[in-house]
Chains A and B, each alone.
Chain A
Amino acid sequence: MAALQHNGVAIVDTFAEAFPMKATRLLVTARDLAWARHAAVSATGLATSVIACGCEAGIERELAADETPDGRPGVAILLFAMSGKELAKQVERRVGQCVMTCPTTAVFAGLPPAAGEPVALGRNLRFFGDGWQIAKVLQGVRYWRIPVMDGEFVAQESTPVVKGVGGGNLLLLADDTDAALAGATAAVAAMRQVRGTILPFPGGVVRSGSKVGSKYAGLVASTNDAYCPSLAALAPRTELGEGVRCVLEIVIDGLDEAAVAGAMRAGIAAVVARGAQAGVRGLSAGNYGGKLGPFHFHLRALAPAEGVAP
Chain B
Amino acid sequence: MSWRLVLRRAPALRVDARALSPARLRGLSADDVRRIALPSGRDRLELGQWFDVLQDDGDADVLDLEGDLARFDCIGAGLQDGTLRVRGDVGDSAGLGMAGGRLLVDGDARDLVGCAMRGGWLEVTGAIGDLAASALPGDMDGMVGGTLVVRGRAGDRLADRMRRGTVVIHGDVGDFAAARMVAGTLALGGACGAMPGWGMRRGSVVFAGAAPQATSTFVDVAAEAGVFWQLLARDLARFGPPFDDLPRRGMTRLAGDLAVQGKGELLVTT
Contacts of B231 in A (CB 8 A): 69-70, 136, 138, 143, 154
Q: Contact at B227–A136, with CB atoms within 8 Å?
A: no
Q: Contact at B235–A154, with CB atoms within 8 Å?
A: no
Contacts of B14 in A (CB 8 A): none
Q: Does B234 contact A (CB under 8 A)?
A: yes
Q: Contact at A106–B227, with CB atoms within 8 Å?
A: yes
Q: Which of A7-31 contact B (CB under 8 A)?
A: 29
Mask: chain A, 152-167; 1 = CB below 8 Å from B; 0 = not: 1010000000000000
Query: How many A residues face the partner with a CB closer than 8 A?
Result: 20
Q: Contact at B224–A134, with CB atoms within 8 Å?
A: no
| A151 to B228 Cα, complex, angstroms | 11
Q: Contact at B183–A154, with CB atoms within 8 Å?
A: no
| A134 to B231 Cα, complex, angstroms | 14
Q: Contact at B228–A143, with CB atoms within 8 Å?
A: yes
Q: Contact at B225–A71, with CB atoms within 8 Å?
A: no
Q: Contact at B228–A152, with CB atoms within 8 Å?
A: yes
Contacts of B225 in A (CB 8 A): 145, 151-152
Contacts of B263 in A (CB 8 A): 132, 134
Shortest beta-carbon distance, B234 to chain A, in Å? 7
| A132 to B262 Cα, complex, angstroms | 10
Closest to A145 in B: B228
The 8 Å CB contact of A136, one of B224, B226, B228, B230, is B228
| A69 to B227 Cα, complex, angstroms | 9
| A134 to B185 Cα, complex, angstroms | 13
Contacts of B228 in A (CB 8 A): 136, 143, 145, 152, 154
A: residues with CB less than 8 A from B are: 29, 69-72, 106, 132, 134-139, 143, 145, 147, 150-152, 154
A sample of 10 more A-B contacts (CB under 8 A), given A145-B225, A145-B228, is: A29-B227, A69-B234, A70-B230, A71-B247, A72-B227, A72-B230, A106-B227, A134-B263, A139-B235, A152-B228
